Structure 1
Amino acid sequence: MKLIIDTDPGVDDAFAIALAALSDDVDLLGVTTVFGNVPLSATTRNAQRLLALCKRTDVPIAAGAQRPLVHPQPHRARYAHGADGLSGRAGTLPEPARDLEPTGAVGLLATLLAAADEPVTLVPIGPLTNIATLLAAHSELREKIARVVIMGGALAGGNTTAAAEFNIWSDPEAAHRVLAGGEVPCVLVPMDLTYRCAVDEEWLRGLAESGPLGAALHGLTPDYVEYYRHALGWPGLVLHDAVAMAEAVRPGILRTEAYPVEVDCGFGPGRGATLADQRRPELRERVDGERAAVEVEVAVDTDLDELRAFVLDRIAGGGVR
């Protein structure tokens, strides 16, 4: 499977990157970065260090959007990820082993897609600014995209606001373009499901004891675990982005349902909310008439034990079974 990651590392991004980079059945074509959990300079440096940790110097990386498409991002997510995005421990990772591509994120995305001999899966696990820009600037490449597997959104209340999840809230206009535009097949992995996939201290011990790479990833988690001690009410960790990556790497590990999805781009308390129309299609047609609705595959369930074991096995070096 050919795959490109768009990311804003972030502790959960670190797990997601490792999951893809260490999977023998994934052809990781490239990594692009975006503002989000911390500023672009930090997310880019973190992504470079993580690829070096995974010994993937073959993977090109490019820096992307420094800010949302239209309106400034009100604040970062340092409260969860620490000042450098990795619990203040980015310096424990290897130094970057490869320079950035000079074309920038959208340029690299376009180049990789154009050169691909089969459709590519895009996995944006941060704000969707780079992906929206790609779709706007390179409509000729849509057929080269197999699907876009997105970590973002929440159907029953957010984490950054009462209504909105962080990635979508960070650039609602970009998210609306990607999710409601109907240009490429999308899978949305919302916070409702990723919270249910949270891992416990035993899982984290297994990671720490799996070897040097697992120990290095475990070492990035203290601030993140402390945040989720309050968010969950028990000592654990939510691997949001790794859940989406699991679906990208093993299609079907998450169960999805097709819904029209829009994003609230207003300026009230609902800004950044993902609005999934869960009415029966027959009712939508009766009420809304023949207006065609763009549907997104929304992840709603999974075998929780299987999902957790899959992520740990791949990161711990199990590879393909």
Structure 2
Amino acid sequence: MSTKLIIDTDPGVDDAFALALAAHSDDVDLLGVTSVFGNVGLAATTRNARRVLALCKRGDVPVAEGAARPLVHPHPHVAKYAHGADGLSGRAAALPEPERDVENGGAVRLLADLLESSAEPVTIAAIGPLTNVATLLAARPDLHDRIDRVVIMGGALLHGNTSAAAEFNIWSDPEAAARVLGGGEVPCVLVPMDLTYRCAVSTEWLDALASSGPVGAALTALTPDYLAHYRKALGWDGMVIHDAVAVAEAIRPGILTAEALPVSVETSFGPARGATVVDQRRPELRAETEVPGGGSTARVAVDTDLDALRVFLLDRLTLR
């Protein structure tokens, strides 16, 4: 049985890997892609998504343009320091030209149309800021039961990457994240950076991908700026493909080990803005000290077989 999948994304180098992973998986019915602001501005993320799909010869997949800014407050900056000025290490133009026009009506309309027309519940892989998904949940409560689950790359249990407390995707629109994770309207799987960092790939892994064929070579050609950033972040010669880890879970449920835990998002303007507060205490203790606003329960990915996951990613990305 194939997974019915929609990807909401802000490409971004790791988003490009995630899109290719889904596009190359025979057990995935990739229904559509929606873009959102984030790693770079909306025009660039939309164009990058369409170019990656063209690289994967998936002109059949519709792409719609989503939110250009957060729900409430302005977005302070984008992630050019990691992804380069165009989101793909300055090499977006090396990818093929898009094969298909952007869909009319925007991201929320496409999300709603795809959910309405699917005979089976659909998984949404949300690998950028959660603005589009939050808007969908607010505007179309009649479609909640059409969503199998939302797999979210975002959040951090220990420390952030954009601030000391917050991971980039959640920090980019904390109000949207609070709506999606705190609303209790659809099942959510949160894939935090604590785990995605542990899944980092080496330059040897990238060399194997580059030598696998034209798609692998094109993907690895997008990584120089990203690699330079992660050499500093990791302290060794490798990089983190956060979003591909989340899409792996969307494709193969259970490839990541997850626990049901209360999750809250900090929306104040203090130093913890955008932090995900995950209550990892034993259930017995949580029950004794329960307080209002303790967070809705999400499944939080905490572990995986690291070697097996890297093999899974490489095998899927090297398909011709």
TM range (shorter): over 0.9
Structure 1 unmatched runs, 5+: none
Q: TM (normalized to structure 2)? A: 0.98
- 277 and 221 in structure 1: CA distance in 2 versus 1, 3 angstrom threshold: same
Paired letter, 1:129: T
2:147: which partner in 1? 145
C-alpha contact 1:109 1:134 (8 A) present in aligned 2: yes
Query: Of the candidates 240, 243, 246, which is equivalent to residue 245 of structure 2?
Result: 243
Does residue 95 (structure 1) correspond to residue 97 (structure 2)? The answer is: yes
- 48 and 216 in structure 1: CA distance in 2 versus 1, 3 angstrom threshold: same
Alignment coverage as a number of residue pairs:
318
Q: CA deviation at 1:291?
A: 8.2
Q: TM (normalized to structure 1)? A: 0.98
C-alpha contact 2:89 2:223 (8 A) present in aligned 1: yes
Deviation string 1:282-305 (CA, Å, 9 cap, x unpaired) is 222211279886210000000000
Does residue 44 (structure 1) correspond to residue 22 (structure 2)? The answer is: no
C-alpha contact 2:11 2:39 (8 A) present in aligned 1: yes
Paired letter, 1:227: H
Instruction: Please state whether the residue corresponding to 2:81 is helix, strand or coil.
Output: helix
Structure 2 unmatched runs, 5+: none
Identity of aligned residues (%): 72
| Partner Cα separation in structure 1 for residue 278 and residue 134 of structure 2 | 19
- 289 and 236 in structure 1: CA distance in 2 versus 1, 3 angstrom threshold: closer
Query: Of the candidates 53, 67, 70, which is equivalent to residue 68 of structure 1?
Result: 70
Equivalent residues in 2 for 1:235-274 (5 A)? 235-274=237-276
Q: CA deviation at 1:61?
A: 0.5
Instruction: Please state whether the residue corresponding to 1:288 is helix, strand or coil.
Output: coil
Paired letter, 1:54: C
Query: Of the candidates 309, 312, 321, which is equivalent to residue 311 of structure 2?
Result: 309
Paired letter, 2:116: A
Paired letter, 2:177: A
Deviation string 1:245-283 (CA, Å, 9 cap, x unpaired) is 000011110000111100000000000000001122222
1:106: which partner in 2? 108
Query: Of the candidates 194, 203, 216, which is equivalent to residue 192 of structure 1?
Result: 194
- 208 and 182 in structure 1: CA distance in 2 versus 1, 3 angstrom threshold: same
| Partner Cα separation in structure 1 for residue 56 and residue 190 of structure 2 | 27
C-alpha contact 2:6 2:32 (8 A) present in aligned 1: yes
C-alpha contact 2:22 2:30 (8 A) present in aligned 1: yes
| Partner Cα separation in structure 1 for residue 155 and residue 130 of structure 2 | 11
Moved over 2 A (4+): 289-294
Question: Pairwise CA RMSD of aligned residues?
Answer: 1.1
C-alpha contact 2:8 2:126 (8 A) present in aligned 1: yes
Query: Of the candidates 236, 243, 247, which is equivalent to residue 234 of structure 1?
Result: 236
C-alpha contact 1:265 1:272 (8 A) present in aligned 2: yes
| Partner Cα separation in structure 1 for residue 255 and residue 103 of structure 2 | 33
1:212: which partner in 2? 214
| Partner Cα separation in structure 2 for residue 11 and residue 292 of structure 1 | 34
